[in-house]
Every structure is written in structure tokens, then in C-alpha cells.
Structure 1
């Protein structure tokens, strides 16, 4: 074992949270070590945000070519070259990874160590088999890994996860996806657009979203070749070149030539030696307080390894910065829990922030909703894509509680609601900023105006009074 080196801060894990924490320290000139078990960039760069969006783009191009006729454009047969699609996805990964390589980080002032980290005591970690590092403060940013459910026969059949599917260069004829959450919905639609017949299996489709989301998306997916099968998977088996999947209470199996398990993610904590560090952990991940401090005062955590933490790259990055501040600086700040945006990158996109209607009604007794259909947003009409809506959840006085958007570029438009939630603003305040025309964000102003009219002009007492005052003033004009 080599001689140990001591750092004011050691960050374990080089994904979104770890990179933000380590870079924040380096920007201030603080000596910092970043320890990564596999590849710098984490799931976001290699197996999540980046490759999935690149694959979705390729699939969208194929679908757009097939559906060009309404625009007066005639296209011949669309051919998908799956090895070329994979090459495109990998090129996007490499472009982004170029800003995250060990050499890049070293040049920024970060000491990078590649290897698994294991605590030997609360202040010492072993990296690989030959190196020991000591730290005054630690930030654990080890991320998550695919959750594999205990399904009978699953261990005996080949299957893909979000970690492996982007390395596949063949297009299946029939893809079976276990899981109809965000990962299943995105990849299911992508593979259907690339030419596969896709079946999603789950107890519900996007169960945490507003019911209206399913009303819009399920028919859209069905039209593109995605079948939603409701139920629990009982068992799976290999049958020659095929994979057979049995859904509970149905003796007839579904058959496909590729199986994707998309049943969520679980905190990646294996091999860390948390017992030796004295860090408390639950079956769901690390336990932290509101400042992201673990049960050890000098050890913090950020990102997907935290128990019951929404698993978003942008939240992990924000928490990485918060953990850095609280670990090294005297003024402590609370980790962000509210107004965390979430986007599912299907087409149309599903973007949500704050509370759903059901969540709001469980907390307040004066909940109201205002919805604006996408066919009343002129930009959506020009794009020939009017399946969707903008929905705001608010209190009777107009205080915004949450919003859901189903639309093209919904994730970009959602920022207006996120900013309003952070300010504690009322929905009607969103009608004030001038927006360029035609844009999808103009629908937010239209919705805010509709909420104002519903609150005041439709009120049985105030509505008639406001109109009488307006008419009276108008007649007094000279």
C-alpha cells in the first residue's frame, strides 16, 4: 500500500453531483481529489441523459420523414441503419465526454483517481489495491444503478438495461420492455420509431403523472407501434431465439427477440465500506439531513445515492454544489427540495414541476386548476402538433402549486413555472412578461389570462361589478 495523501476534500463519484462538487472546490483553489470507480461523467453522460436524447433525436428524424406528407413533402421508404444510429449516439457521448476527461479535470486543478473507493475508517479510503487517501471532508456522489426486480427466470435470459442498450447495434423486430415509467416510455417510443414493434408491461403507464398525460400519450404511442400491457410480470424464459414473458393471470406469453428491463434505479453503494466510515444507510440509500450531511458530521452526500431523492441529473448537480458549500464553507444552506423540474422526453414531452392536482388536494382544501389546450397555441398549430396541454395547479387566491406541460419543447417552457414557484408567485403574474410570437411559451400567458378571467370575471359577485365599472368608465370617456 502506497503512502497516503491528505486532502481538505475528497469527492467519491464523478457523475453530475461529483463533477459539480469537485469543480466548485477547484475554482476556489481548494485541493480536491475526485475518485471514480468506472468512467467520469456517470450515468448522465454514458447511459442516461446524453445517449437517450441522441437516440430519441435519431428516432424523431425517422418519424418526421415518415410523416412529411401533411407538409407537402413526399418521402420514399425510410431505412434505419442501426449501426449508424449507434455511431451517432456514441459520437454525441464522446463530444460531451471531451469536457469531462481526467486530463481536462487535472488541468482544472482536480486530482483524479480512477478506481473503487472503500472506507477503512471515517477519514481514510483505499482506492483500488495500491493507494490510500485521507480526507478532512468527504462528499459521496456514487449515483445509482439499474434496479433488477426478482422476476422468476430473469437471471436465465439475456436482457438489456439503460446501461447496456446504447451499445446495441441491432434493431429488434419485437422489443418487450418491463417498466412503463420515464425510461420505458422514452426508449419504447424511440425503438418503435426506429422500426421495432414494442410492448410495455407495467401496472400503469407513467403512474406519477397527471391522468391527462396518459390520455394524450397512450393513443400517440399506440399509433406509432407501442402496445401497453397492464399487469405484473410473473416469469420470463428463453424459447430458442425468442424471449417469452408471462403477465400475471394470462397463460399466453408475450414473445420478443429483445428484452429491456426498465424498472427504475437504486442507489449504488456496494463496496464503499460505509460501516467502517460510520455512515448510516437505509435500503433506499444514504440518510442525510437538510444540509446533505450524513450521520458522520464530516461526510456529505449528493445526488442519486441519497434515499428517497428524485433521480435527476440537474438536481444532482445542484446538490453537489450545496454539499460542497456545506462541507467547506462556514455558512450552511439547505438542500433544494421544492420546485424541482422533471421532464420525460417522449414526443410530445411531459414536463412537470411542483405538485400534481392529486398531491395538492391532499394538502389543501381550496385547490383550483386551469388548463390551456395546445390547439389554442398558435406555434403548436404551425408545427402540426397540437396533442397536449398546459395545466396549472393553484390555490383559490392564485398561488401557484404546480404545473404540467405536454407539448413539444415542454421542458424549456416549464422554466417559467419553476421560476414562479421559487418566488411563491401567483399564477396571474405569469401573464405580465411579453413573449415573442409565435412561441410555445405564449401559451403560458394565455393560461394565466384564463386563470384571471376565471377568478374575477366569472365570479358571481365580482364579475358583474367589474363589467359595470368598465362600462361606466368607458361611457365617461371624451
Structure 2
């Protein structure tokens, strides 16, 4: 077994790891990138890109189905499942190819293939071929789909979001377990492509939304089209010939048994920490075995180890992974100097129809009594009605006393674009008045945003709470 000495070892060649590698190298340090699995990020291979390809195909089918509402009557829709999946895989492989090409441009002396594990503080073993002595280490090993115990007996009838995109054809039916963003996106897309789909959500909410008014509207909008069952628990699932038999229990306590071709586990992801042998890392771990870290420096305690991306389970989104990777790699490269990096305003989007989004502070993170809420419903909003996409609600939050915009939650048309505007406003600490000073064209969806902001401004001016109820959040007291 050979032994090498490096300044920085980056474990994982995903979005966070690749960004950390480049950031550390910018300091002129000797950096090695270690990867045990196939090259190609989660986003390109099994996440953001293939899911949006499937959604795009579903949107095309849905547009044809909705055309008669405009007086346009196309012929019968025929979905060729094999052609759909061939297109998804072809484009997916193209995106993956770009990532793999970037990895292969890294000189061989800066790449190691194999699974790394700690054998001592600052010392890694990669498979059975290399010992790496590293002055600093970046952990960027990503995450893996979680499969709940009640689905573990399904064998080949069980799929995860990592495996859906390897189908060569669309099945006749799928049970989606989990009402988060991944479950809703894939479930609705498959439904629009002719698959019989039921989505099972254990709780009453969906997709990490926390504003009760938005959650209620979102559930109702999606249930108009999709068999979405919230407050429904999957009791068991077993193979049943060429299908799966799934038993569920709703809020009424009644059990139902149904058959599906496949059961898709969309119940979240778990950090890839099991290979790392962290007991030899010297790091302080929480009760789940997760290294404790500073979210602004990505440093684990007072060690020379940094952690970035989905593996730390803080904000498992691509743009957050790259930001964290940049911070971790920069600090690993400049170590022992460690400085806080830029953490941007929270931004999360679900590409359902209507779309879901959280920008800035979510409702559930705000202190009751310290903020006002402005609202617009899209049922009568001009551009939304023109497009026949007039469903949903936008709720915006502003701080009493400062008039500062705090954040928003929404379900509605073009939410991906509204959310970006609102995240920028939150990050720049804009006031509601300054946001209303911005130009608004006509007719556009953004006019709905203006309506919500006007409603919010009126409540901030006229609805200041009693001082004794909010003495810690009103400036000047």
C-alpha cells in the first residue's frame, strides 16, 4: 500500500466536492480528490436534471390535454413511454458527460478512486491501495435515498428516486411514499404521462412548507389532479406476483390494500457517513453520528476537517452545496486561518404545477407577533387567468417597526421566478416600501406580488401589535 502526503484531501467528487477542490487549489496547495462511486453529481445523474426532463415531458402532455380550454382541439394524445425514457436518459447522460469530462481534466496525481475512511486524525485509507496523510480534510460525500423499514421487503418492486431514471419504459402504476418535493414532482409527472399514481404523505403538510394557509391551498390544488393522500401511513408493502401489495391507513383509521407495479420511496435522503469510520476522526459527533460544524465556516469544531453539501444535511440543495463547498475548500486551503463565507438567503422551489416555493425566512422560522402577512390569491390575477393557471396563493412576511421584508411562501404560477426576486429582496434586507418602488410591468404574474406587498405594507402601517406583546422585536424600545 502506498502512502502520500497532501495539504488538502477532498472526499467526494459531487457538486460540493468539486467546488471545494477548486477552491482549495486556488491557494496553491497540493489537493487530492477522492471518489469511490461513479463520477457525475447527484444533480446531473439522478436529481435536478433528469427529474426536470421528466417534468418537461409531462408538461408537454398536459399542455395538449389543457388546450381545449382555449378553444384549441388537438388529436388524441399518445404517450410513448419508451421514447420518453430514452429522451430523458439521453439528455441526462449528456449532462453527466459534462461533469465527468471536468473530473477527467484533473491530473491523475490529484485524483484517487476508492472509498476513503479515517484511520486516525488527519489520516485516511482509500480502499486497500493508498494511505493519505492530509493537513486538512473536506468531507463532501453526499447522501443516499432513505428506504423506510415498511418498504424493505419489496425487492425489485421497490425503487428510489435514484433508480426511476433507469426505467426503459413507463409502468402502469406507481405508489409514491412521501409527499416532499421529490415525491410530488415525480408523482405528478408520472401521472401526466399516463401512469396511475397515488402519493402517500404521512403528515398533513407537504414539501417542507410551514405556512398553514399555503399548505392548505397547495394540498387542494394538487389533489384536484393527483391522488394525494395526506395523513396516511403506509403500514406494510409486500411483493405480490408481478406487482406490489401496499397496505395504508388514513386519518380515519381504516386500512386499504392496493396493488401497484412499483413503490417509489421518496422519504428523504440520509448522509453518506457510514463508510468514513468517523470514530477514528477525532471529531465531535451529535446523537445521530453527524459531525458538529459551523454553518458559516463549515469547520467541524476546532479541527482541521470541514464538511460541505448534502452530507451535512443542513440545506440539501445544489446551490447550497456549491456555496458550502466553496467555503469549505477556501478555508481548508487557507488553514489555519478560517473565515466565515457567504451564506445566501434561503431559496427552495418545487417544480410541481402549481409550483411551490419558499424565499427568505419561512413562516415557521418567524417569531409570532413580530411580523405581518400580506397575501394575494391567483384566482383572479390577470396574467394567471390569461394562461389558465390561476390557482394558488402567495404570502409575504414583513417585520413590524422596521418595515423590512423577511420572506415568503407560495404555491402558484411561475413561482420559481417570483421566489428568486423575493430571495434577492430578503438577502438585500429591502423594506416593503422599497420593493414597491420597483417597476412592475403589465400584464405579468409579478403584479400579483405587488398586490401582496401592498397588502403587507398596509398591515405593517396599521397593524402594529401592542408593545408589551412584542417588546423584543420593535426597534427603538
What SS does structure 2 have at the residue aligned with 1:67? helix
User: Residue 343 in 1 paired to residue 341 in 2?
Assistant: no
Alignment of 1:38-437 (within 5 A): 38-101=37-100, 103-107=101-105, 111-151=110-150, 154=153, 158-204=157-203, 205-206=205-206, 208-209=208-209, 210-228=211-229, 230-248=231-249, 249-282=253-286, 283=288, 285-290=290-295, 291-295=297-301, 297-307=303-313, 309-329=314-334, 332-334=338-340, 339-360=345-366, 363-375=367-379, 377-397=381-401, 398-437=403-442
1:342 positional shift: 0.8
1:396 positional shift: 2.3
- Please say if residues 23 and 108 of structure 1, whose CA atoms lie closer than 8 Å, have aligned partners that are also in contact: no
1:375 positional shift: 4.0
> Gaps spanning 5+ residues in structure 1: where?
460-478
Alpha-carbon separation, structure 2, partners of 1:417 and 1:78: 38
1:61 positional shift: 0.8
1:70 positional shift: 2.1
Select 2:449's aligned residue among 439, 444, 453: 444
- Please say if residues 221 and 227 of structure 1, whose CA atoms lie closer than 8 Å, have aligned partners that are also in contact: yes
- Please say if residues 371 and 389 of structure 1, whose CA atoms lie closer than 8 Å, have aligned partners that are also in contact: yes
What does the per-residue CA deviation read over 1:375-404, in whole Å, with 9 as the maximum and x for residues that have no partner?
A: 454332332211122210122232222201
What SS does structure 2 have at the residue aligned with 1:384? coil
- Please say if residues 323 and 343 of structure 2, whose CA atoms lie closer than 8 Å, have aligned partners that are also in contact: no
Alpha-carbon separation, structure 2, partners of 1:376 and 1:251: 40
Q: Structure 1 pair 97/350, CA: closer, same or farther in 2 (3 Å)?
A: same
For residue 467 of structure 2, what is the aligned residue in structure 1?
A: none
User: Residue 24 in 1 paired to residue 35 in 2?
Assistant: no
Alpha-carbon separation, structure 2, partners of 1:251 and 1:394: 44
- Please say if residues 201 and 228 of structure 2, whose CA atoms lie closer than 8 Å, have aligned partners that are also in contact: no
Q: Structure 1 pair 39/441, CA: closer, same or farther in 2 (3 Å)?
A: farther
- Please say if residues 348 and 407 of structure 1, whose CA atoms lie closer than 8 Å, have aligned partners that are also in contact: yes
Alpha-carbon separation, structure 1, partners of 2:226 and 2:74: 20
What does the per-residue CA deviation read over 1:310-364, in whole Å, with 9 as the maximum and x for residues that have no partner?
A: 211111111111112222236633366672111111111111023333442xx24
1:58 positional shift: 0.8
- Please say if residues 43 and 49 of structure 2, whose CA atoms lie closer than 8 Å, have aligned partners that are also in contact: yes
1:218 positional shift: 3.1
Detail structure 1 runs of 4+ shifted over 6 Å in the superposition: none
- Please say if residues 14 and 39 of structure 1, whose CA atoms lie closer than 8 Å, have aligned partners that are also in contact: no
Alpha-carbon separation, structure 2, partners of 1:446 and 1:252: 44
- Please say if residues 177 and 261 of structure 1, whose CA atoms lie closer than 8 Å, have aligned partners that are also in contact: yes
1:233 positional shift: 1.5
1:119 positional shift: 2.0
Alpha-carbon separation, structure 1, partners of 2:340 and 2:413: 34
What SS does structure 2 have at the residue aligned with 1:253? strand
Alpha-carbon separation, structure 1, partners of 2:202 and 2:419: 28
| TM-score w.r.t. length of structure 2 | 0.87
Q: Point out the more displaced range, 334-343 or 62-71.
A: 334-343
Q: Structure 1 pair 364/99, CA: closer, same or farther in 2 (3 Å)?
A: same
Alpha-carbon separation, structure 1, partners of 2:200 and 2:96: 34
Alpha-carbon separation, structure 1, partners of 2:166 and 2:8: 35
> Gaps spanning 5+ residues in structure 2: where?
465-477
What does the per-residue CA deviation read over 1:185-214, in whole Å, with 9 as the maximum and x for residues that have no partner?
A: 111101110111211112234063123334
What SS does structure 2 have at the residue aligned with 1:391? strand
For residue 13 of structure 2, what is the aligned residue in structure 1?
A: 14
- Please say if residues 357 and 369 of structure 1, whose CA atoms lie closer than 8 Å, have aligned partners that are also in contact: no
What SS does structure 2 have at the residue aligned with 1:320? helix
